[in-house]
Amino acid sequence: MTDEKQIEFMYNKLLDLSEKHQKDITVPNFCRVLAMFLCELSYDCSPSGDHATHLILSAITNKIEKQIESVSNEKL
């Protein structure tokens, strides 16, 4: 499976998990747990702290770029 397919697969699994437990945990707490998990996993599995930080910041940058693109498209 390609990297993009793996990412899409796992993203959908996490979305399913969040929908399954939406009545068990508030959205802010679910987000906090995922952020904590992301940090622990990134720093535990990456070859270096710099690499882990890069992975996390890349995800944040990707989200910001999508938001900027969406706003730009709305103005057209």
pLDDT reported for residue 35: 94
Question: What residue type is assigned to position 8 of the chain?
Answer: E
All residues at 6 or more sequence positions from 18 whose CB lies less than 8 Å from its CB, including other chains: 30
76 pLDDT higher than 80: no
75 pLDDT higher than 90: no
Q: What is the tens place of the pLDDT at every residue in 9-65? A: 999 999 999 999 999 999 999 999 999 999 999 999 999 999 999 999 999 999 999
Domain ranges of the chain: 3-75
CB 3 within 8 A of CB 11: no
Global model pTM greater than 0.85: no
Q: How far apart are CA 50 and CA 29, in angstroms?
A: 27
pLDDT band, residue 73 (cuts 50/70/90): confident
